[in-house]
Amino acid sequence: MKLESLLKLNRTIRVIGFDDAPFNRGVDDYVSIAGVVCAGTRFEGMVWGKIQQDGFDTTEVICKLLIGKKFLPQIHILLLDGIGFGGFNVVNLPELALRLQLPCVTVMRRQPDLAAVTEAMSRLPDFQQRQKLLQQAGPIYDYSPFFFQVSGEEPAVVAKVLQRLTDCGKVPEALRLAHLITAAVMTGESGSSA
């Protein structure tokens, strides 16, 4: 069912939210990522994977965690905590939406400083490829309190969905839980900045 219909009928929206775990820059080869499945704001399940720090495999890893597995048929929308995982392992947002046949959204807590991002990325190999992936993710929409990029759905619909999926504050619950869980698994306790 389309997101717009789910909103109109006041149905439960099932979401998966991905975040990466804390890691040591330049030390860890791989970074853990968690995908938390929620029905609205209620926790329902989770997937766990590993990506290369500053690599190019996040899109592929997320697809492998979902395609042909139990959660994908239940999910209406996929959320990402930003576009870069494990440093600058940048997600190919249009490809992810196409392969999963789901609206895919990168959610940011604030408007990013794109000049600073470009400067940091320029120090890594394959800068052009990373830059292209950033551009393919499209414009950053500001629907206060949410900043996001989207592939596979209208921004106005996504803004309403994000409100429905957020318990309090500016972070949808699936992303908040993914953040807390990855921090607890890697450091022994959940952080406060979820």
Establish if 188 belongs to a structural domain. no
Task: Summarize pLDDT for 102-117 with one digit per residue, the tens.
Answer: 999 999 988 888 889 9
Q: Do 194 and 179 meet the contact criterion of CB atoms below 8 Å apart?
A: yes
CATH number, domain with residue 49: 3.30.2170.10
Burial letters 33-50, b for 16+ CB under 10 A, else e: bbbbbbbbbeeeebbebe
* Average pLDDT of the residues of the chain: 95
Q: At residue 55, does pLDDT exceed 60?
A: yes
Instruction: Enter the tokens of residue 35.
Output: 């995908």
Establish if 38 belongs to a structural domain. yes
**Conformation bin of residue 5: beta by default, left when phi > 0, alpha when psi is -120 to 50:** alpha
Q: At residue 189, does pLDDT exceed 90?
A: no
Confidence of residue 151 (pLDDT cuts 50, 70, 90): very high
Q: What percent of the chain has pLDDT over 70?
A: 98
Establish if 191 belongs to a structural domain. no
Q: At residue 194, does pLDDT exceed 60?
A: no
Tokens 């890594």 correspond to what residue? 124
Establish if 15 belongs to a structural domain. yes
Task: Summarize pLDDT for 6-34 with one digit per residue, the tens.
Answer: 999 999 999 999 999 999 988 889 999 99
Establish if 193 belongs to a structural domain. no
Task: Give the range of the structural domain holding residue 127, as residue numbers without chain letter.
Answer: 3-183
Establish if 58 belongs to a structural domain. yes
Q: For the chain, what is the domain count?
A: 1
Establish if 158 belongs to a structural domain. yes
Q: Considering the entire predicted model, what is its pTM? A: 0.96
Q: Do 62 and 50 meet the contact criterion of CB atoms below 8 Å apart?
A: no
The whole-number pLDDT of residue 192 equals: 67
Comparing 188 with 133, the larger pLDDT belongs to 133
Task: Summarize pLDDT for 159-174 with one digit per residue, the tens.
Answer: 999 999 999 888 999 9
